[in-house]
Amino acid sequence: MLLGIEPRNCSVCQQGLYRDKTMFRGGWSRCTVCDEFVHYSCLASGKVSFLKARPRVCKTCRAAQEGTSSPSPTKDETPVAVGS
């Protein structure tokens, strides 16, 4: 009996991760946050736009991190003069 091979899909763009389509277009990598395989083009950009961030994080996980990890200060504090 032959076991069927289940095709994997990119968790960002929902397209298939096939060697014949993605091998010469950047390939794929695994996101370190959600542990899913994603296309290289679906990884978050680093400091330089054409390089990818390390550790490898997909665009959806990066958007989730930026949405929750960047709380803006809402408390207005007046500066206090020292030595007066």
Sequence letter at residue 70: S
Tell me the pTM. 0.63
Domain ranges of the chain: 7-61
CA 17 to chain centre: 17
pLDDT tens-digit series, residues 44-72: 888 887 788 888 999 999 999 888 754 54
- Judge whether 37 and 44 are in contact, CB under 8 Å: no
Q: Please give the class, per CATH, of domain 7-61.
A: alpha beta
Residue 24: predicted pLDDT: 59
